[in-house]
Copies of this chain bind each other. A is one copy, B any other.
Amino acid sequence: MTSRAARQDISPAGLANDFAATRSLSEALVEPLSEADATLQSMEDASPAKWHLAHTTWFWETFLLRDHLEGYSLFDDNWPFVFNSYYEAEGERIHRFSRGMLSRPTMAEIIDWRAKVDEAMQPLFEREELRPLIELGIAHEQQHQELLLTDIKHALFQNPLGVAMWQEEPKANSNTLEQEWHSHPGGIARIGHQEQGFAFDNEGPDHRVLLEPFELSSSLVTNGEWAEFIADGGYETASLWLSDGWAWVKENGIAAPLYWNGDEAFTHCGSQVWDPNAPVTHISYFEADAFATWAGMRLPTEFEWEAITRGQEGELAAHDPCGGNQLDQAAPPLPVGGEGLFGDCWQFTRSAYLPYPRFQPAEGAVGEYNGKFMSGQFVLKGASCATVRGHSRASYRNFFYPHQRWQFTGLRLARDV
């Protein structure tokens, strides 16, 4: 099973509400998009907005309705071929980079499908044994909401005419945060999902890890600090970079975060002057690591980050520990900076994405959810301004390849004591 422990405290009605809210938010997110916008695929890593709406629906239809609702028949027998993402156990599927060719089905047809699936789902919320799978489906759709936002941002960025998804004024500059440090004395920390409630399979089993004493910055690295890194020749100094990172810089002519163009950066609201006090985002692991080296520090491990977060939970609870600048309605995500450990941007750790001791993926197709990606990627902790509020946890493990940077990715420094 992919969720470590189902929430016992949620009623069928509560579950149905969470489901409805999630389904509804997905559709609200595509409101500002035209049919053509929603069909764009800008690179193999990204998918069209419309495809996200359809794929999440395929997930419900396949793993809940088809597998658990007697007599259910598929809305369209050909759609699994185009809306399965990567589940080998579910058979052949369209090549990943052909998703942008799916001008049909239309958005209206997909919205219609969504409604029918939502309707068909209703009897299932009563069934206790399906609760973990339903919670997984909700978490899955929430993940795709974040991807939908970052993918469409990347797609619109390709258009030289400077298209904005939302028309909003940039927010006023945030205030400078004073740099402080969360200290940890070292010792044995308990890592992984331990509480009641939903978690992905890769967050467990919970286990113990031995830590050395260290400190973790109270604030995220900002755009202003990144500008200093650039001004100091950060992108031209080989000794700051990992070997693969330096090759990536040279081959791709990297000289700034992904969406930067001088003093401006491309956002969901078009090009905007970036705020020097706001957290830097859209950087790769290679860049995060080079910056930390330049700053004479390092990235934290995923264990260090989690240990601090758990230790601070009491204090942070007052500030919405799982909150910060995260998404709770269809609105342009924009990192602004704050005091929480969650929100604004995903934070690279120096931990490779690997299985925890005694990790076992779930049986069946949903077992492909996380485990098969455990090579070549790094763990990111926290949550971003595009993460749905309530989706974040101390044990959450996001993961990306070290060159990827189309997510809201940033960094928080650590240092040995």
The docked-state distance in angstroms from the alpha carbon of A160 to that of B79 is: 9
- The reply to whether A242 and B375 contact each other, CB–CB distance below 8 Å, is yes
Per the CB 8 Å criterion, the residue count for chain A at the interface is 65
B40 engages A158 (CB within 8 Å): no
B158 touches A104 (CB 8 A): no
**Is A255 in the interface zone, CB < 8 Å from B?**
no
Bound-state Cα–Cα, A168 to B150, Å:
40
CB pair A373 B160 closer than 8 Å: no
In the complex, chain B residues whose CB is within 8 Å of the CB of A102: 159, 161
Bound Cα distance A243, B243 (Å): 24
The answer to whether A350 and B357 have CB atoms under 8 Å apart is no
Set of chain B residues within 8 Å of A373, measured between Cβ atoms? 242-244
- Which 10 residue pairs spanning A and B have beta carbons closest together? A352-B352, A88-B238, A101-B158, A36-B103, A36-B39, A35-B35, A210-B210, A37-B103, A243-B372, A35-B36
Report Cα–Cα, A194/B86, bound state, in Å.
Answer: 45
Interchain residue pairs with CB less than 8 A apart (30) = A34-B103, A34-B106, A35-B35, A36-B36, A36-B103, A37-B104, A40-B103, A78-B161, A81-B160, A82-B160, A82-B161, A86-B243, A100-B100, A102-B161, A103-B156, A104-B159, A104-B163, A207-B212, A208-B210, A209-B210, A210-B210, A212-B358, A239-B368, A242-B373, A245-B375, A285-B375, A289-B375, A350-B355, A357-B416, A376-B402
- For residues 284 through 313 of chain A, which have their beta carbon under 8 Å from a beta carbon of chain B? 285-286, 289
Q: Is the CB of A101 within 8 A of B161?
A: no
Cα–Cα, bound, A243→B98 (Å)? 19
Identify which of A98, A101, A239, A402 gathers the most chain B CB atoms within 10 Å of its CB.
A101
A217 at the interface (CB under 8 A from B): no
CA–CA, A286 to B209, complex, Å? 26
For the complex, is A188 an interface residue (Cβ under 8 Å from B)?
Answer: yes
- State how many angstroms separate the Cβ of A92 from the closest Cβ of chain B: 10
Q: Which of A43-67 contact B (CB under 8 A)?
A: 50
The 8 Å CB contact of A36, one of B38, B82, B212, is: B38
Is B37 a contact partner of A34 (Cβ separation < 8 A)? no
Q: Which residues of B contact A42 (CB under 8 A)?
A: 101
| Most chain B CB within a 10 A radius of its CB, from A37, A81, A375 | A375
Given A37-B103, A100-B100, output 13 extra A-B contacts at Cβ < 8 Å: A34-B104, A35-B35, A35-B36, A36-B50, A40-B100, A88-B239, A98-B158, A101-B159, A102-B159, A103-B155, A212-B357, A350-B354, A352-B352
Q: Which of B105, B207, B243, B374 contacts A242 (CB 8 A)?
A: B374
A19: interface (CB < 8 Å)? no
Interface residues of A in 70-110 (CB under 8 A from B): 78-79, 81-82, 86, 88-89, 94, 98, 100-106
In the assembled complex, how far is the CB of residue A398 from the closest CB belonging to chain B, in whole angstroms? 16
A183 within 8 A of B: no
Q: Residue on B with the closest CB to A100?
A: B100
Closest Cβ–Cβ distance, residue A394 to chain B (whole Å): 19
Docked complex Cα distance between A106 and B161 (Å): 12
Chain B residue contacts of A244, Cβ below 8 A:
373, 375-376
Q: In chain B, what residue has the closest Cβ to A356? A: B212
Closest residue to A156 on the B side, CB-wise?
B103
Structural contact, B161 and A105, CB atoms closer than 8 A = yes
Cβ of A266 within 8 Å of any chain B Cβ, yes or no, is no
**How many angstroms between the C-alpha atoms of A363 and B400 in the bound complex?**
31
Return chain B residues, CB-CB under 8 Å to A88. 238-239, 246
Report Cα–Cα, A289/B355, bound state, in Å: 12
**A342 sits at the interface (CB 8 A):** no
